Amino acid sequence: MKSLFPPDFLWGTATASYQIEGAVHEDGRGLSIWDTFSHTPGKIANGDTGDVACDHYHRFETDIHIMKEIGLNAYRASITWSRILPDGKGQLNRKGIDFYNRLTDTLLDAGIQPMYTLFHWDLPEGLQKLGGWANRDLTEYFRDYCAIIFQHLGDRVHYWITLNEPSVHTYLGHLYGTHAPGLTDWKTATQTAHHLLVAHGLAVQAFREGGFPGSIGITLNINHFEAAGDTAEHRQAAQRMDGLWNRWYLDPLFKQSYPADIWELYENHRFTPSMKAGDLALISQPLDFLGINYYYREIIHADPTIPVLQASASSPPPPITAMGWEIFPDGLYHVLTRIKREYTSIPIYITENGAAFPDVLQNGTVQDTPRIDYLKKHFQAAAEALAAGVDLRGYFIWSLLDNFEWACGYEKRFGIIYIDYATQQRYWKQSAYWLKDFLAVLR
């Protein structure tokens, strides 16, 4: 299987700042909405917070050493906006820049290419106080923050991602309220989605204007939806889910329009977003690559009890992960080939794929055979997409380390490296050893 991937393919792991860094009060970092949310009683399993997380802020050299030992040549991380601009705008915090300089240089010295996400959900609390993403001013504050990052790191970092999974941030954070900032309002959600996309467009513009040497894209999580049965009502329900989660982001980015069926649905309920002339052109300007996060398939049935969408996901058939997500490697193939068929032929990176299982540490390791099996099958699906003509350039496993899995806290373990949170010891799971062997044969 290994020979199916080109020699310059990027093999990496992915993480996100709030999930691993800790050190939330150090070196001038401002608070983010995730600090506020995780400290709100009842929001996170077991009352967990990201205050310490994997203490990566102090242990990043150890973690980079592990990546090098495994044989990885790339690493996707995200930048904490409030380490750079504690209030989200205005005063620059030099120590925040210093941290990402150290991280970048240590990665490059280890022969590992950094790929940085500029926004992975940890909005500075100061900007939430101004109304959060529903306030259009944030699009410009985001552009200004990105321009600062490009100026300081753009000479050495060759892969930039504007936003991670804008759909998840929009719906879980602003419609279902299970993520920060914990809001539950349709109109706020649709406006947030639109402003996130405008912010993405402005960041791409700033990157192009600066003439930096690297490449820039966005990461979308694309789920594979199927209808529960071959009836018009189930098919339409699946279509609406696909419209809400996938097409609402893919269409403006690659077709310069919002999907007509979902626009009409929103119009009927009076929560279409406000837009300005030129927004769609700004959002759809050319990208260098697309990042895809793929996790599962959902089988959708018509459900009149669900307001607006009138659709629900059926219980997933086995096998499932500890998150309750169906393991469906073919979905990765479907998603990748669909993007090429319906949207774009630009290079694609799988910027996240992986699974949580009920890992148990025994004799200094975890026998995570299900994770190894999961990775093998998804690598195979990716290889098949490559063979089918998808311009796939890299694969990032979620995640390097067990980490703060948002509302699930530390209960769900996605890492190929086990973290003992009491001691911050890192232990290689069998999947990390397996990956090292897999990569050794490639080189």
Site for ligand IFM in 145-174 (CB under 6 A): 165
Beta 311-313 vs 297-302: how paired, if at all?
A: antiparallel
Q: Quick one: DSSP state of residue 326?
A: B
Does 398 bind ligand IFM (CB under 6 A)? Our answer is: yes
Nearer of residues 357 and 414 to ligand IFM, judged by Cβ: 414
Nearer of residues 359 and 405 to ligand IFM, judged by Cβ: 405
Site for ligand IFM in 248-307 (CB under 6 A): 293
Q: Quick one: DSSP state of residue 352?
A: E
Site string for ligand IFM, 406-425 (x = CB under 6 A): --------x-----------
Residues labelled as active-site residues: 165, 352
Nearer of residues 46 and 363 to ligand IFM, judged by Cβ: 46
Does 402 bind ligand IFM (CB under 6 A)? Our answer is: no
Among 63, 125, 326, 352, binds ligand IFM (CB under 6 A): 352
Nearer of residues 159 and 414 to ligand IFM, judged by Cβ: 414
Q: What is the helix (H) or strand (E) element at residue 55, kind and residue range? A: none
Read off the tokens for 43.
Answer: 């929001």
Residues 6+ apart with CB under 8 A from 132: 33, 123, 138, 174, 181, 183, 188, 192
Query: Shortest distance, CB of residue 179 to ligand IFM, whole angstroms?
Result: 10
Q: Quick one: DSSP state of residue 124?
A: B
Does 16 bind ligand IFM (CB under 6 A)? Our answer is: yes
Read off the tokens for 34.
Answer: 């995730």
Nearer of residues 333 and 398 to ligand IFM, judged by Cβ: 398
Residue in the shown chain whose Cβ atom is closest to ligand IFM: 16
b/e burial code for range 375-394 (CB count within 10 A of at least 16 → b): beebbbbbbbbbeeebebbb
Reference 272, options 174, 191, 373; nearest CA is: 191
Q: Is the Cβ–Cβ distance between 43 and 57 less than 8 Å?
A: no
Nearer of residues 239 and 246 to ligand IFM, judged by Cβ: 246
Site string for ligand IFM, 64-93 (x = CB under 6 A): ------------------------------
Query: Shortest distance, CB of residue 415 to ligand IFM, whole angstroms?
Result: 11
Does 405 bind ligand IFM (CB under 6 A)? Our answer is: yes
Residues 6+ apart with CB under 8 A from 364: 427
Query: Shortest distance, CB of residue 396 to ligand IFM, whole angstroms?
Result: 11
Q: Quick one: DSSP state of residue 29?
A: P
Site for ligand IFM in 227-256 (CB under 6 A): none
DSSP conformation letters of 172-197? HHHTS-SSTT----HHHHHHHHHHHH
Compute the distance between CA of residue 232 and CA of residue 239 in angstroms, rounded to an integer: 10
Query: Shortest distance, CB of residue 196 to ligand IFM, whole angstroms?
Result: 15
Compute the distance between CA of residue 245 and CA of residue 241 in angstroms, rounded to an integer: 6
Size of the site for ligand IFM (CB under 6 A): 8
Return residues touching ligand IFM (CB under 6 A): 16, 19, 165, 293, 352, 398, 405, 414
